């Protein structure tokens, strides 16, 4: 999966209002970032690496694809070390609302 495909799938899952109420950044390293700004309705998605986020999830684009497809549950992925979370952990706990 590439970053554009992940962004498109995430946009479809987030919709108008995912109820997150925060800015969440998926940082895929050299592949880029996907930022979900759920502080406003409609929610806004971008690939702006400079955007400040309440919570950042660092993961590979393949792992992001697994999360979006349902192959990987967020809690399981975190416990297995497939991604790292920094910032507001309460936002990360709401990740299941999105993926």
Look up tokens 């498109």; give the residue: 8
Binned at pLDDT 50, 70 and 90, residue 96 comes out as confident
What mean pLDDT comes out for the span 7-14? 94
User: Which one-letter DSSP state was computed for residue 12?
Assistant: H
Angle at alpha carbon of residue 37, lines to 34 and 40, rounded to 5°: 160
Q: How many CB atoms lie within 10 A of CB 58?
A: 15
pLDDT, one tens digit per residue, over 11-70 is 999 999 999 999 999 999 999 999 999 999 999 999 999 999 999 999 999 999 999 999
Q: Which helix (H) or strand (E) holds 2?
A: none
Sorted by where each starts, the structural domains of the chain and their CATH numbers stand as 3-97 (3.30.1050.10)
Q: How many CB atoms lie within 10 A of CB 75?
A: 12
Binned at pLDDT 50, 70 and 90, residue 97 comes out as confident
State the pLDDT at residue 17.
93
Assess whether the previous peptide bond of 42 is cis (omega < 30° from 0): yes
């Amino acid at each position: 999966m590439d970053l554009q495909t992940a962004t498109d799938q995430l946009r479809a899952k987030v919709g108008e209002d995912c109820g997150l109420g925060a800015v969440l950044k998926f940082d895929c390293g050299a592949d880029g970032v996907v930022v979900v700004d759920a502080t406003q309705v409609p929610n806004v998605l971008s690939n702006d690496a400079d955007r400040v986020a309440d919570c950042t999830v660092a993961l590979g684009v393949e792992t992001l694809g697994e999360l979006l497809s349902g192959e990987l549950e967020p809690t399981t992925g975190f416990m297995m070390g497939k991604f790292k979370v920094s910032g507001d952990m309460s936002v990360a706990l709401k990740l299941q609302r999105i993926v």
